A and B are shown apart, each in its own frame.
Chain A
Amino acid sequence: MNMRANNEHKGPPIPGLVWVDRASELLGRIGDVLIVLITVLLTYEVVARYVFSAPTKWTQDVSTLMQVWFTFLGMALVLRKREMIRITAILAIAPAWVRYLFEAIALIVILVFSVVAASKGYDMMQDSLRLGRRQPTMMAFPNWVGELPIVIGFALLALQSLVELIRLPFGPAPQFSVSGEQETPAAESDKSSQVSAS
């Protein structure tokens, strides 16, 4: 089930499309940095509490906020790399035109949802800015700080799914397998060294 289409589509050579890829790549990498930062922060918190008897008040709020950021910023890269979890039992045995069609439907669902989410997220953020909403925590961060990544993340995801949709007819039919690895031996070593959440 952790199945992916095995290839990232390349063509057509429209220059704008590559910039979307690069933006997704960049924001995704920022997410990597954030995860390492969270680890450091929370470890520091434990050390500060036990070794220096001086716990901080901010690590919990800040790291939770970072979680919101890395998740939404990294969505587009996950789509680009076709890493999302999907059921491919039918896709794996479907003829090429069905795979084109279903892939297009999947991308359209993501595109439409992302556009709605980005615009509603923008409304929410505007509202928070207007009312000066703050979180009821020790740090009392402004709410918009946690709402901004929703706007950025879904706007980028909308663009990325649009880009993938444009590329779809130019590439080969997307390939799926029940397990994701069977036909591509190169992926095996990679897969076995990867950890899923289950």
Chain B
Amino acid sequence: MKNKPAGLYIHVPFCLSKCAYCSFYSSSSLHLIDEFTKSIPREMAFYKNIFPSFDTIYIGGGTPSLLSVAQVHDILLAIHFNFQIHLQAEITMEVNPGDASQDYLQQLRALGINRINIGIQSFDDTLLKFLGRRHSARSALAAVEAARAAGFENLGMDFIYGVSGQTMDSWKQTLKTAVDLCAEHLSCYQLSLDKKTPLHQRYLTEGLSLLTEDQALDYFLTTSQVLTDAGYTHYEVSNFARTDSLKSRHNMKYWCHTPYLGLGPAAHTFLDHQRWWNKSSVEAYLKSIAGEMKPQEGFEKLSLEQLRLEAWFLGMRTKDGIDLAQFKTSYGCDLLTDKKPIIDELIRNRLVELTERHLHPTLAGMAVADSLALI
């Protein structure tokens, strides 16, 4: 675990406006972006000795594409200055379709960004409006075209399904469009409503309903079927890659207990048995940095049992599942012995499968990963 190369995450918490379904912290105080850009490198200095090198970098948000090319440049420069970055590193940036002009993308490419993740959500304008997105299906298509023209060969697209007003046909159409665009990577999330969000309020007042269990399963299986038929690998509950090498290497680190450093407001870091996270308000974050303080808000040291629980539930969300021998070495638990009756039952019910080294969820198992997590 320790000698695996770590991942670096930069959180850009700014948004022009909040999407109706989003419950995460974001700030619309865009005038702070400049100070934020200058603070990130100062935060790096705190960690340059404990995280010497990275092989993935992920600039996420929020809306990172609110940063100017110069600001992205400064951040990347600071990264190279403070840390060793592998030559073949995966360097991703999230981009909003509305911000994705060919010129902007070309310059990002020139800075060394080699993977773009576009928050498309849907190719259906009615749904985009319902979700409170600022872009249209047309601008999403244009963004993809621009990214290709800018030379990006690794393109990820995010989608949401299970939205009120959506039909299975319209969802299949969206998937087909993504496949036709040769997306290297797709993330397909089932809509869930957080109580704090305006969309939740709207569902309540308009008497809208979420998917039933059967419908949700239907969408989940259809999504998997359509994309695997098109040659994609369904490698995590919500994630699909055109080939194994096109999986999101950065996100895989989260699911494999690989160390990662998170910089910026609200970002989480994991190292050995420790996890810590930054203050989530931009102002508080900037104040800490200005005062030469680490902007940390919380810290936890994970017990072996907690690590084991995390490794188990994360493993049950991924196609590769759990490497049994490694699990035993790392967490002191021989799953096949300690959990034999339940694992036998899960195998009998085809929710998990046993290969030579691995215990991994089947498609039906991934659909109930929250429950698998509880055994």
A and B associate? no
